[in-house]
């Protein structure tokens, strides 16, 4: 199993190209199941999760071709569709549940295994299935599989009130509603940029969608969808991650393709911490105003609030901050598993339930650490950039699910980071 070796102590400088969004691409790929015409995605990130979704879609009857060294994914689902998504594939990735809505919409029935993914707390499917049930689907859980069937073979429009703004459920219902009979209204819908990106792609295929980016989305069903070529939106989580590199290590970095609109709440916290952020014609330029960042308090919230997927990276930065910061995690339980690993490096962190108090220290010391999930992986690498000595981050298969060529991108701006091949 591979590891990442980080030798700390040097400032970083240069440009980092930001990839297309993992969470957007994994949502856009199942859209191919809604049409018998080709769907091509450009600006696709080159990640292991993309390969997993490719395997899943191929098992359902889609043709998927990777072009331009993985940056373009061409898909077509024009033949016979297999409506069973098997556990062996689905267990590897939470986003696999996003085939449920499209299969139900096009074929009227589906059998989908309950999904897997990072161990960052329970993320139940109830909100997905309750919404589909309001659209006329009968859904039963048998032996770990969701058995779904649309009443009369076709979903029907409905008014769906989410108890909370679930990104995945919003995406599943949006896709299902495009081919449903009548009009579907989603109240308390998620507002993330990935939702807007999905709506933009669906509209280019002929879907009738209004309100994306707000808490109420309206979808008027159509008989069929056509094909499209669609560029995947920039990954705001990768953007935020690399924005922290010069804050932690020192120096100045330009994140190519980044915009403040993608990271508004995050950028506001960095500004409060003493970070310079300026928009350029190519992206965002970032540097630290003083010798150390200032302590700031952070509470994770649904978009447009501070993203939970940047909480671990922010904690790594606050380990070096002047003062004590309070981080409150309100999206996922069990999402402070990186804290004990940072403590191994000398961080001063006290976790009580969903709240972590981080008191900044003058320096961290490199140590062997264990990655517990995707975002924890990169937080430990970031911490290692400014730690004394060597930090060896183990179990980085998590990292490869969400960051393409992270060691190459960091090395390009002067960081001493390399992959150590496992046995």
User: pLDDT (tens digit, 9 = 90+) per residue, 261-310?
Assistant: 999 999 999 999 999 999 999 999 999 999 999 999 999 999 999 999 99
Note whether 386 and 257 are same-domain residues.
yes
Note whether 207 and 274 are same-domain residues.
no
Q: How far is CA 43 from the centre of its chain?
A: 15
* Domain boundary residue, one of 231, 266, 301: 231
Note whether 135 and 257 are same-domain residues.
no
Note whether 155 and 210 are same-domain residues.
yes
Domain range for 300 is: 3-19+234-420
Q: Cβ contacts of residue 182 below 8 Å, gap of 6+?
A: 156, 157, 158, 220, 221
Is 188 known as a binding-site position? no
pLDDT of residue 397: 86
Is 22 known as a binding-site position? yes
pLDDT of residue 116: 55
Q: How many domains does the chain have?
A: 2
DSSP label at 295? P
d(CA 338, CA 119): 12
DSSP string over 294-310: BP--EEB-STTSB-GGG
Note whether 259 and 336 are same-domain residues.
yes
* Domain boundary residue, one of 231, 266, 289: 231
Note whether 290 and 208 are same-domain residues.
no
pLDDT of residue 136: 98
CATH number of the domain enclosing 294: 3.65.10.10
* Domain boundary residue, one of 231, 255, 274: 231
Q: What is the dihedral of CA 74, 78, 84, 88, to 10 degrees?
A: -30
Give me the residue label for tokens 């901050």.
321
Note whether 71 and 219 are same-domain residues.
yes
Note whether 47 and 31 are same-domain residues.
yes
Q: Which residues of the chain have pLDDT under 70?
A: 116-124, 423
Is 23 known as a binding-site position? yes
Note whether 225 and 239 are same-domain residues.
no
Is 92 known as a binding-site position? no
Note whether 303 and 206 are same-domain residues.
no
Note whether 112 and 238 are same-domain residues.
no
Active-site annotation, residues: 118
**Dihedrals phi, psi of 353, to nearest 5 degrees:** 65, -125
Note whether 395 and 258 are same-domain residues.
yes
């Amino acid at each position: 199993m591979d590891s990442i070796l980080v030798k700390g102590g040097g400032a970083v400088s240069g440009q980092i190209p930001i990839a297309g969004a993992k969470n957007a691409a994994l949502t856009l790929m199942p859209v191919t199941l809604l049409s018998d015409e080709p769907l091509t995605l450009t600006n696709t990130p080159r990640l292991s999760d993309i390969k997993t979704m490719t395997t899943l879609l191929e098992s359902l009857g889609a043709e998927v071709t990777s072009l331009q060294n993985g940056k373009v994914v061409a898909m077509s689902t024009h033949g016979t569709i297999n409506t069973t998504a098997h556990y062996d594939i689905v267990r590897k990735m939470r986003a696999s549940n996003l085939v449920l809505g499209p299969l139900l919409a096009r074929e009227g029935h589906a059998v989908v295994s309950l999904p897997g993914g990072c161990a960052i707390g329970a993320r139940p499917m109830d909100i997905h299935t309750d919404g589909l049930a309001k659209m006329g689907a009968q859904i039963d859980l048998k032996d770990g599989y969701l058995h779904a069937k649309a009443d009369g073979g076709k979903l029907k429009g409905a008014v769906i009130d989410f108890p909370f703004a679930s990104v995945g459920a919003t995406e599943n219902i949006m896709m299902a509603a495009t081919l449903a009979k009548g009009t579907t209204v989603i109240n308390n819908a998620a507002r993330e940029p990935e939702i807007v990106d999905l709506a933009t792609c669906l509209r280019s295929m002929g879907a009738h969608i209004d309100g994306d980016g707000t808490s109420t989305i309206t979808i008027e069903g159509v008989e069929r969808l056509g094909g499209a070529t669609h560029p995947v939106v920039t990954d705001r989580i990768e953007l935020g991650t690399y924005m922290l590199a010069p804050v932690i290590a020192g120096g100045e970095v330009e994140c190519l393709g980044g915009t403040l609109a993608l990271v508004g709440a995050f950028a506001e916290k960095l500004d409060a911490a003493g970070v310079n952020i300026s928009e350029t014609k190519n992206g965002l330029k970032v540097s630290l105003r003083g010798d150390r960042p200032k302590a700031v308090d952070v509470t994770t919230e649904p978009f447009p609030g501070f993203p939970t997927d940047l909480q671990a990276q922010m904690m790594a930065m606050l380990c070096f901050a002047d003062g004590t910061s309070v981080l409150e995690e309100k999206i996922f339980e069990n999402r402070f598993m990186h804290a004990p690993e940072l403590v191994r490096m000398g961080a001063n962190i006290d976790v009580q339930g969903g709240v972590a108090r981080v008191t900044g220290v003058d320096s961290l010391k490199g140590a062997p650490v264990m990655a517990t999930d995707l975002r924890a992986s990169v937080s430990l690498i970031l911490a290692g950039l400014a730690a004394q000595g060597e930090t060896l981050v183990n179990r980085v298969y998590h990292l490869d699910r969400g960051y393409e060529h992270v060691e190459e991108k960091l090395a390009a701006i002067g960081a001493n980071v390399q992959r150590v091949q496992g046995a």
